[in-house]
């Protein structure tokens, strides 16, 4: 999954400071589509008969990362701050290389560092549905089943541990008050974006795919074709979803002019303006239900690239005016 974090991110600490209550939980909310389910297979998520199936609370598998391993197996800490201690090691060897002749004992003595064993916490990860969209995506809450108190002496140590446990297994981190409502959680559903500098279509595609889950050859070909069209209009940057997902990708032509493609429903390209970061968090169904203010939509029919070019040219002219 994702790399571990060495310190609690500043944004997480700032968020905690806004909470009225001292008790918090480490959790995050993800929108999951059918094509994403394999990414969570190690947690027991399944997609059956059009429905996402969630398992009950469980201790994350130790193979997910070093914090997941320590959560199940515990860990040893080498105490280089303490004096070394003398330890003897013994083993048996056969006489004259043949066990039938008996054996003798070898013993060596050496100075070693003292070690402390930290027992496993066996913290559980819970998964629960918050929302289902008409287009078949599911909003799921992932939470570490331990309430932490800001007043505890080891609060930041435990917080860092739980954040890494969630990061290893889900690929995202966040914190919430222990009494947070469902609305508090659903309001945090988001797509995280990575801004990529311009380059050739091949270079950009390679960077978009790097570190993400596998994308089959047909989808890569579609991405390359769509990026080729977007590159014609000279974007200042490209955009790709982070956290291992590549459903969304696109190009940024200015701070208030962004074009998005979506591998889940590739029948249209979306051109978004001032509120693009907020609009991009909404599903296609939600977008089409509401007001069309803030975005335009061009279906991938014959001539769509020319329509996109004309629209971008008009919008750029309007903004300069």
> Which one of 96, 117, 138 terminates a domain?
117
Whole-angstrom Cα distance, residue 299 to residue 311?
A: 13
How many degrees, rounded to 5, is the angle at CA 256 between CA 138 and CA 203? Answer: 75
Query: What pLDDT shows up at residue 244?
Result: 44
Mean pLDDT check: name the lowest of 138-142, 251-255, 308-312: 251-255
5 occurs within a structural domain: no
The range of the structural domain enclosing residue 91 comes to 79-117
3 occurs within a structural domain: no
2 occurs within a structural domain: no
> Which one of 167, 186, 205 terminates a domain?
186
56 & 147 share domain: yes
126 occurs within a structural domain: yes
Q: Is the pLDDT of residue 245 over 50?
A: no
C-alpha dihedral, 225 to 228 to 232 to 237, nearest 10°: 130
Q: Is the pLDDT of residue 317 over 90?
A: no
112 & 123 share domain: no
Average pLDDT over residues 167-191: 83
Q: Is the pLDDT of residue 246 over 60?
A: no
Bridge partners, residue 27, by sequence: 143
126 & 204 share domain: no
90 & 39 share domain: no
User: Which has the higher per-residue pLDDT, 147 or 98?
Assistant: 147
Give the chain's largest Cα–Cα span: 99
61 & 148 share domain: yes
- Residues comprising the chain, all counted: 321
Q: Is the pLDDT of residue 20 over 70?
A: yes
Which pLDDT band, with edges at 50, 70 and 90, does 167 fall under? very high
For residue range 185-244, list pLDDT tens digits in order: 877 765 556 666 778 888 888 887 776 666 678 888 888 888 999 999 999 888 876 544
Query: What pLDDT shows up at residue 63?
Result: 92
The three-state DSSP-derived secondary structure of the chain is CCCCCCCCCHHHHHHHHCCCCCEEEEEEEEEECHHHHHHHHHHCCEEECCEEECCCCECCCHHHCHHHHHHHHCEEEEECCCCCEEEEEEEEEEHHHCHHHCEEEEEEEEEECEEEEECCCCCCEEEEEEEECCCCCEEEEEEECCCEECCCCCHHHHHHHHHHHHHHHHCCCCEEECCCCHHHHHCCCCCCEEEECCCCHHHHHHHHHCCCCCCCHHHHHHHHHHHHHHHHCCCCEEEEECCCCCCEEEEEEECCEEEEEECCCCCEEEEECCCHHHHCCCCHHHHHHCCCCCEEEEECCCCHHHHHHHHHHHHHHHHHC
110 & 154 share domain: no
Average confidence score pLDDT of the chain: 83
How many degrees, rounded to 5, is the angle at CA 91 between CA 89 and CA 96? Answer: 140
For residue range 70-93, list pLDDT tens digits in order: 999 988 888 888 888 888 878 888
69 & 96 share domain: no
53 & 111 share domain: no
Average pLDDT over residues 285-305: 74
276 & 291 share domain: yes
For residue range 275-291, list pLDDT tens digits in order: 666 666 555 555 555 55
- 216 Cβ neighbours under 8 A, 6+ residues apart: none
For residue range 110-121, list pLDDT tens digits in order: 888 888 878 899
The residue assigned the tokens 């069209």 is 229
Average pLDDT over residues 84-109: 85
287 & 197 share domain: yes
**pLDDT above 70 coverage of the chain, percent:** 83
Query: What pLDDT shows up at residue 1?
Result: 47
32 occurs within a structural domain: yes
Which pLDDT band, with edges at 50, 70 and 90, does 309 fall under? very high
Average pLDDT over residues 127-144: 82
19 occurs within a structural domain: yes
Q: Is the pLDDT of residue 31 over 90?
A: no
Average pLDDT over residues 145-164: 94
4 occurs within a structural domain: no
pTM, full prediction: 0.60
155 & 268 share domain: no
163 & 136 share domain: yes
Whole-angstrom Cα distance, residue 87 to residue 96?
A: 28
Query: CB of 249 within 8 A of CB of 223?
Result: yes
> Which one of 94, 117, 140 terminates a domain?
117
210 occurs within a structural domain: yes
How many domains would you assign to the chain?
A: 3
User: Which has the higher per-residue pLDDT, 158 or 91?
Assistant: 158
């Amino acid at each position: 999954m994702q790399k571990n974090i060495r310190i609690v991110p500043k944004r997480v600490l700032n968020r905690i400071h806004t909470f009225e209550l001292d008790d918090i939980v480490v959790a995050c909310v993800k929108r999951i589509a059918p094509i994403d389910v394999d990414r969570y297979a190690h947690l027991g998520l399944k997609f059956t008969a059009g429905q996402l199936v969630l398992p009950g609370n469980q201790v994350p598998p130790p193979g997910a990362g070093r914090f997941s391993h320590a959560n199940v197996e515990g860990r040893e800490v080498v105490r280089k701050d303490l004096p070394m201690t003398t330890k003897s090691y013994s083993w048996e060897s056969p006489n004259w290389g043949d066990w039938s002749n008996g054996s003798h004992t070898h013993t060596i003595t050496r100075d070693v560092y003292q070690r402390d064993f930290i027992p496993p916490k066996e913290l559980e990860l819970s998964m629960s549905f918050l929302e289902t969209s008409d287009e078949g995506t599911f909003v799921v809450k992932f939470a570490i089943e331990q309430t932490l108190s800001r007043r505890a002496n080891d609060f930041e140590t435990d917080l860092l541990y739980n954040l890494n446990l969630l990061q290893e297994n889900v690929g995202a981190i966040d914190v919430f008050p222990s009494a947070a409502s469902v609305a508090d959680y659903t309001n945090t559903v988001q797509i995280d974006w990575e801004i990529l500098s311009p380059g050739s279509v091949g270079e950009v595609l390679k960077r978009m795919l790097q570190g993400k889950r596998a994308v089959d050859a047909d989808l890569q070909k579609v991405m390359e074709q769509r990026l080729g069209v977007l590159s014609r209009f000279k974007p200042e940057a490209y955009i790709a979803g982070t956290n291992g997902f590549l459903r969304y990708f696109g190009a940024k032509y200015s701070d208030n002019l962004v074009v998005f493609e979506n591998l889940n429903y590739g029948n249209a390209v979306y051109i978004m303006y001032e509120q693009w970061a907020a609009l991009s968090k909404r599903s296609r169904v939600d977008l089409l239900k509401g007001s069309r203010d803030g975005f335009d939509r061009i279906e991938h029919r014959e001539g769509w690239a020319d329509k996109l070019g004309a629209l971008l040219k008009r919008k750029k002219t309007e903004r300069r005016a």
